[in-house]
Amino acid sequence: MTAGFLTNWAGTYTYSAPRIVEAGTVDDVRRAVAGSGRVHALGTRHSFTDLPDTAGTLIDVTGLPPEFALDEVAGTVTVSAGTRYGVLALWLHERGWALRNMGSLPHINIGGATATGTHGSGDGNQVLSASVRALRYVGADGDLHEVRRGDPDFDALVVGLGAFGVVVALTVDIVPEFRMRQDVYTGMSWDAALADLGAVTGAGYSVSIFSTWEPDDIGFVWVKTRLDADDDPVSDALLDGALAEGTDSPLSGDDNITEVGGVPGPWMLRLPHFRLDAQPSFGAEIQTEYFVPRAQAPDALRAVRALGDRIRPHLIVTEVRTAAADDLWLSPGYRRDSVIIHFTWHDHRDEVWALLPEIEAALEPYDARPHWGKVHRFDAERIAAVHPRLADARAVFERLDPGGRFVNDHLLRVGVRAPR
């Protein structure tokens, strides 16, 4: 079938691929890859660019059966790449297990999220990709391959951007289930937050700062606390901010968020911001995101803050999160603890596109790395400057796919695949 007018979930990117295959089995994927022309994997369409697009055939993996396989001895679960995190989370919760972390949207599929370095938050939590223990993929030869943690190519392939094959299943680490609560702090000043940013980001298991770059007030600080007992206390104050009363939230007025107000609940209903049974986020939006070293984050935030008057007319909200360092070659968190500055924009495409160079120039002194699946203006030279293992990863992709079956315009533009 043709891709037609297929868009990403927000409706702000339209795919140009002339053909799409809705794979129901791994053999469907193998047949599609073995056909002629270029191919690329497609998941739940949560990217905001042409990264998952192709001039050939899109292979939609969301129809692959979940086929959960729990290994309680190893502490892992194996699941198909198209499975949504929220679906896996519910399955694990029913069996007394948990994921260490989740992104803000439980709607995203596991294969696409890990391939792009998607993340949740927490000073001690790595990007979601770092929980991958093994992955199975259909390579350029049409055969099924497996790579495991510790294998020579593993660190290149986990955050692999669809550049080497179509991932069909992943094995990820799990932990015993746990309980959490969510609380919101308001009234915090930028001066206090930037003077002791670690106190803010370290206030809980997972912390998000929501801001619209107002001159003085930082906005909302959403703290997710892991509980030993449901009556564990939390502080009434955070720096010069105070615990919000009732159910005030950074996304006030929306009925699609997980429960706040300090109500204890299971991990899978507290780690994500949004509920799986509701439309996530805001809808028609554009997203942009940059990782900066945690030690330089206060200065990086000051640099963006200086652009507040330019940003606000086009912004829905900014979210600031953290991630711990990992060893995956193309992870935005590769070998550095990071603060992550995320922008959710109104669908002001031309204005946002024109504004990004100003934001990226402000962040350039801090070696900002863009999120692979979100809108940015980095070219191959700038990507290479901030990703020290880019050339090594590209060499692996070229070796595994010498004919360029998985090459697309985006991968060429950012230097992940060699020019053709």
Question: One digit per residue, pLDDT tens: the chain, 420 residues?
Answer: 555 579 999 999 999 999 999 999 999 999 999 987 999 999 999 999 999 999 999 999 999 999 899 999 999 999 999 999 999 999 999 999 999 999 999 999 999 999 999 999 999 999 999 999 999 999 999 999 999 999 999 999 999 999 999 999 999 999 999 999 999 999 999 999 999 999 999 999 999 999 999 999 999 999 999 999 999 999 999 999 999 987 666 775 568 889 999 999 999 999 999 998 887 778 899 999 999 999 999 999 999 999 999 999 999 999 999 999 999 999 999 999 999 999 999 999 999 999 999 999 999 999 999 999 999 999 999 999 999 999 999 999 999 999 999 999 999 999 999 999
3-state class of 324 per DSSP? coil
Which residues are CB-neighbours of 349 under 8 A, at least 6 positions away? 12, 286
| 310 lies in the same domain as 213 | yes
Distance CA 405, CA 139 (A): 9
Q: How many domains would you assign to the chain? A: 2
Residue 367 lies in a domain: yes
Domain boundary among 127, 157, 177: 177
Q: Which pLDDT does position 157 carry in this prediction?
A: 98
| 127 lies in the same domain as 172 | yes
Phi, psi (deg, nearest 5) at residue 316: -85, -55
| 135 lies in the same domain as 250 | no
Query: Cβ atoms within 10 A of the Cβ of 230, count?
Result: 10
**Tokens 């391939």, residue located:** 115
Q: Which pLDDT does position 3 carry in this prediction?
A: 55
| b (16+ CB within 10 A) / e for 293-303 | bbebbbebbeb
Residue 210 lies in a domain: yes
Pick from 163, 161, 137: which is nearest to 61 by CA?
A: 137
Which residues are CB-neighbours of 264 under 8 A, at least 6 positions away? 179, 180, 181, 227, 230
| 97 lies in the same domain as 223 | no
Domain boundary among 177, 200, 217: 177
| 76 lies in the same domain as 118 | yes
Domain boundary among 177, 208, 242: 177
**CB 267 within 8 Å of CB 206:** no
Q: Which pLDDT does position 116 carry in this prediction?
A: 98
Residue 412 lies in a domain: no
Q: Which pLDDT does position 282 carry in this prediction?
A: 80
| 241 lies in the same domain as 330 | yes
**What distance separates the 2 farthest-apart alpha carbons in the chain?**
62
| b (16+ CB within 10 A) / e for 86-100 | bbbbebbbeeebbbb
Residue 273 lies in a domain: yes
| b (16+ CB within 10 A) / e for 321-337 | bbbbbbebbbbbbbebb
CATH of the domain at 329: 3.30.70.2520
Pick from 3, 29, 30, 31: which is nearest to 15 by CA?
A: 3
| 240 lies in the same domain as 143 | no
| 202 lies in the same domain as 125 | no
Residue 30 lies in a domain: no
Q: What is the pTM of this model?
A: 0.96
Q: Which domain holds residue 137?
A: 69-177
Distance CA 155, CA 333 (A): 13
| 127 lies in the same domain as 261 | no
| 170 lies in the same domain as 186 | no
Residue 22 lies in a domain: no
Q: Which pLDDT does position 1 carry in this prediction?
A: 52
Residue 362 lies in a domain: yes
Pick from 239, 369, 361: which is nearest to 294 by CA?
A: 369
CATH of the domain at 105: 3.30.465.10
Distance CA 202, CA 193 (A): 12
Residue 400 lies in a domain: no
| 332 lies in the same domain as 371 | yes
| 211 lies in the same domain as 162 | no
